[in-house]
Amino acid sequence: MTFSLPNSLFAASCLISMGNAFADCSADYTVRDTQRFHSEAQKLEQAGNASGAFAKYVVAQSYTCETNPVEMDAARRAAALALPLGAAAEKKGDLQRALDIYDSGGHYAAADRVLMSLVRSRSDDPAIFTQAREVFEYRALPAFASNHQVLLGITGTYRPDPKNMAEVMAMPAIGAQRALQKEATLFNEQYLRDSVQLVQSRPDDPTDTDAMQRAVSAQQAFMQKYANDPLKASRDRLNLVHSWSAATTDQSLSRKLMQQLSERREQRVSMLIQKYSGSPALLGAAMDYYSGQGAEQTAIEARIPPVKAQALKLGDAAMAGKHYGLAADYYEVADADAKAEAARNELRRVAMAKMQPSIDQMKRQAEALQKQFSDPAKVQAMREQALAAQARFKQQQQTNTKTNAKKAEELEKELGM
């Protein structure tokens, strides 16, 4: 014995099943949305707004839970508009926009060409390497052709050029070596020698105005000569080596680059602490090398304390030699704040002691003036002297006026006026 559902119940069952299927669907837009985008794109295209129309045609191709009825036409119009829009962006030099347009319009070979132009123009940028690698890896997957079959059906067969991928994958090794070579030219020993000389020639007596002026002039000349800090530029290049190490997918290469980076940083620190410790700032720079990008916290904790201990020892030596300003700078590098403040206080005390005779003389002069003006007889005498001087000045003015008038009359007579 068999049973059959009434037609109405069967239809209801189908609707329920379809409803469940749609409920499981995840899409950003509905068919109505894409139809609206397509209509808006057509109006923009008719109005001559190719860029706005292109953007609308692209979004009109979006996935919907039901069949998207405008996808094919939207893809066709987007592909047609992408070529002139991409070319215009290229002409303006906006390669990223050109890449996005060609890619969204299904012109993948043109997009690859522009992407490689970006790669070559930013060959020291690990970010563009990562972008290009991810693009070419995705293009090589079977899923790429499946996901873009509508656009590929319009723009034609596409296969990524393996030469592009090879060039991109060579970027980390080449870029890291270029960074290391550039760093070697930036680490300037003449700068280090000049730094030490500048610090060591700084006067210990802040009241010596001539010496302080010479020190200011020397500082200004140094900053003009080294407008850009060579050590910072050196560390930036070494940080770039770390960025390449982190960006590459070749673990063997990554380990090699980190080893080269560690060795180079160790070389720089050794030179700074052994040959150029006469400048507190250079000891601080040594610690900056140790704490560069990629440095492990355990290594930092092991290597920085000895440099601080060296700065502390040099600060004590400078303090003993009564070079209080230099001592304060060393103590700051060593994070010995209390000692740094004590050195600055001693510097102020010495300066005040040197200035005290002048201060005492000024006080005596002020007291003498105060005493003089507090004597009524002297004040009256000074008042009378002032009045007498005023009277003489007035008399002289009157005499000059009469003399000038007489000379004018005589001149008039001589001229027969």
pLDDT digits (tens, 9 = 90+) for 185-198: 999 999 999 999 99
pLDDT (tens digit, 9 = 90+) per residue, 296-355?
A: 888 888 999 999 999 999 999 999 999 999 999 999 999 999 999 999 999 888 878 775
Quote the mean pLDDT of the chain: 87
Please write down the HEC assignment for all residues of the chain.
CCCCCCHHHHHHHHHHHHHHHHHHCCCCCCHHHHHHHHHHHHHHHHCCCHHHHHHHHHHHCCCCCCCCCCHHHHHHHHHHHHHHHHHHHHHHCCHHHHHHHHHHCCCHHHHHHHHHHHHHHCCCCHHHHHHHHHHHHHHCCHHHHHHCHHHHHHHCCCCCCHHHHHHHHCHHHHHHHHHHHHHHHHCCHHHHHHHHHHHHCCCCCCCCHHHHHHHHHHHHHHHHHCCCCHHHHHHHHHHHHHHHHHHCCCHHHHHHHHHHHHHHHHHHHHHHHHHCCCCHHHHHHHHHHHCCCCCCHHHHHHHHHHHHHHHHHHHHHHHHCCCHHHHHHHHHHCCCHHHHHHHHHHHHHHHHHHHHHHHHHHHHHHHHHHHHHCCHHHHHHHHHHHHHHHHHHHHHHHHHHHHHHHHHHHHHHHHCC
Kindly report, residue by residue over 109-164, the tens digit of the pLDDT: 999 999 999 999 999 999 999 999 999 999 999 999 999 999 999 999 999 999 99
Work out the pLDDT band at 216, boundaries 50, 70, 90: very high
Residue with tokens 């003449």: 190
Contacts 24+ apart (CB under 8 A), 253-256: 253/172, 253/173
pLDDT of residue 343: 93
pLDDT of 3 > 50? The answer is no
Token pair belonging to 243:
């960025």
Answer whether residue 2 shows pLDDT above 50: no
Please give the pLDDT value at position 366: 61
Average pLDDT over residues 268-273: 96
The answer for residues whose C-beta is within 8 angstroms of residue 244's C-beta and 6 or more apart is: 126, 129, 171, 172, 173, 175, 176, 179, 257
Residue 21 banded pLDDT, cuts 50, 70, 90: very low
The residue-averaged pLDDT of 373-402 equals 70
pLDDT of residue 397: 66
Per the listing, tokens 């009434």 go with 6
Give the pLDDT confidence score for residue 296 in this predicted structure: 83
Residue 22's pLDDT is: 46
pLDDT score, position 24? 61
At 205 the pLDDT is 83
pLDDT in tens, 173-186: 999 999 999 999 99
CA distance 312 to 336: 7
**pLDDT for the residue 414:** 56
Q: Phi and psi of 26, rounded to 5°?
A: -125, 115
| Side-chain half-sphere exposure of 189, counting CA atoms within 13 A | 6
Q: What is the pTM for the complete model shown? A: 0.75
Higher pLDDT, 140 or 396: 140
By percentage, how much of the chain surpasses pLDDT 90? 71
Who has greater pLDDT, 311 or 212? 311
- What's the Rg (C-alpha) of the chain? 42
Higher pLDDT, 134 or 368: 134
Q: Is the dihedral of CA 197, 203, 206, 208 positive or negative?
A: negative
Band the pLDDT of 225: cuts 50, 70, 90: very high
Which distant-in-sequence residues (6+ apart) come within 8 Å of 373 by Cβ? Answer: 379
Q: What is the pLDDT of residue 4?
A: 39
* Residue 204: band (very low, low, confident or very high) from pLDDT cuts 50, 70, 90: confident
Residue 373's pLDDT band, with cuts at 50, 70 and 90, is low
Distance CA 364, CA 367 (A): 5
Whether the pLDDT of residue 257 is over 50: the answer is yes
pLDDT value at residue 93: 96
pLDDT digits (tens, 9 = 90+) for 46-69: 999 999 999 999 999 999 999 999
pLDDT at residue 129, as a whole number: 98
pLDDT band, residue 7 (cuts 50/70/90): very low
410 pLDDT above the threshold of 60:
no
Give the separation between CA 7 and CA 16, rounded to whole angstroms.
Answer: 14
pLDDT one-digit tens code per residue, 69-104: 999 999 999 999 999 999 999 999 999 999 999 999
